Amino acid sequence: MTDLETRAAPPRAGALRRAAPALAGYAVVRALGLLALFLWSAARDKSAYTLLTARWDALWYVRVAELGYGYEVRLSNGDVHSNLAFFPLLPWLERLVAAGSPLSYADGGFLVSLFASFAAAWGIFAVADHVYDRRAGVCAVLLWAVLPVGIVQSMAYSESLFTALAAWSLYAVLTGRWVTAGALALFAGLTRPVGLAVVAAVWVAAVASFVREPDTPIAPGPRARRVLGMLLAPLGTAGYVLWVGHRTGKGPLGYLDVQAGWRNGFDGGYAFARFIAEKFTSFPSAPVGVGLILGVASVVWLYVAGARQRQPLPLLVYTGVVTALALCASSYFGSKPRLLLPAFPLLLPLALALTRARIRRSAAVLGSLAVASAVYGAFWLNGSGPP
C-alpha cells in the first residue's frame, strides 16, 4: 500500500468475526495480567482493585468527575498540582456511568477503560489488517497487550480510551471516511494533550490527498467531507486548551502554566537526556542508563523500520508526534513507557516479523511475553506503580 493510498472499508457484516481471534487473544492476555495482579496484591495484603481504580492519576480523574474543575494541591516546594491538567472526556464518561447506575465514579472509570481497551484492540487490528493482513492484525494486537506496562490498559486511566479513538480515527482516514476521522480526532483531543497527534495525522493526510489530486475532478461532496473532517479534528484540543486559558485568566497559553505546575513541559528531550546521563555517575545505576539508551534506540529503530516498510503517511505522522511528545517532554521520566502506549504503529514491524515465523514459534514468543508482562505488571503496581 502506498503512503497516500486509501481503500474502502470492508462491509460491516463480518468485521467483528474477522477481528474475533485478535480480541479473544487480547482477552486472554488481559485476564492473565489481572489474575497475576490480584494474586500478588492478595499476598501483600493490598487491594488490586484499588490499585486499578483509586491511585495516582485515577484519583485525579475521579476528583474531576466528582468536584468539577478547580481542585488543586499546593506542595511545600511551591508547585501547584491543578486538576485542570486532566482532559475532560474520561471524567465525563465516569459521571455518565455513575448517573445511570449504582456504580461509583471510580467503578465507572474502570468500566470505561475495560470497554475502551477492547475497542482499542479492535481498532489496532483494523488498522494492521487494512495495511497488511489479518495475521499481522492479530499479532499487532497481541504485541500491544503484552507490553511491559500493558496493565495500564486495564486501569481507570485515559490511555485505553485515547488509543481506541486514535486507532479508529486513523482507520477512518485510511478508508477515506473524513468526517468520521475528524469527529474521532475531536474526541481524542478531549481525552489527552497528545490528541494533537491525531489532529496532525488527519490534517497531513487530507492536505496530501488534495495535493495528490490537484487536477482530478472530484465531486463537491467528497471535497466538502474532507474539509469538514479537517475542521472538526482540532476542536477538542483547541476547545479545552482555550477554556483553561479563559478559566485561569492567562489567555491561550494558560494550559502550559497549568502543566508547569506539574513540572511538565516540552524541552526537546534535554531533561530526559540529562536524567539518562546522571545514571552514569555511579556504577550501580549505570546499567539503568544503558537500558534507557537501548530503549530509546529501539523506539527510534522501530519508527525507521515502519517508514522503510512504507507505512501510510497518517500512521507515520501520528506515531512521530506521539513519540516526540513522550520522549521530549520534561515530565516524570518513569511515565514515558506509559505515554508511548498509544504509539501502536511502532509495533507493526514486529508484527510483520511474527507473521513470517511459524505459528508455533510466534505463539511461544507471545506466550512468554504475556507471562512476563503479567508478572511485571503485578510487581510494578504493587511497587512504585505508574505516576
Distance of alpha carbon 56 from alpha carbon 245, whole angstroms: 25
Distance of alpha carbon 365 from alpha carbon 180, whole angstroms: 36
Q: How do residues 14-51 score in pLDDT, each as one tens digit?
A: 788 999 999 999 999 999 999 999 999 999 999 999 99
Distance of alpha carbon 112 from alpha carbon 142, whole angstroms: 21
Nearest to 202 by CA among 48, 110, 314, 297: 314
What is the DSSP-derived secondary structure letter of residue 285?
G
Q: How far from the centroid of its chain's Cα atoms is residue 173's Cα?
A: 18
Dihedral (Cα; 159, 165, 167, 172), 10-degree rounding? -170
Which position has the higher pLDDT, 211 or 113? Answer: 113
Given the C-alpha cell 467483528, which residue does it identify? Answer: 16
pLDDT at 10 over 80: no
Beta bridge partners of residue 82, listed in sequence order: 72
What is the DSSP-derived secondary structure letter of residue 384?
T
* Letter string b/e over residues 56-68, b meaning 16 or more CB atoms within 10 A of that residue's CB: bbbebbbbbbeee
Q: How far from the centroid of its chain's Cα atoms is residue 235's Cα?
A: 19
Most confident of 268-277, 288-297, 326-335: 288-297
> Any idea where the domains of the chain sit in the sequence?
16-381
Reported as a pLDDT band with limits 50, 70 and 90, residue 264 is confident
Reported as a pLDDT band with limits 50, 70 and 90, residue 2 is very low
Nearest to 62 by CA among 116, 120, 110, 101: 110
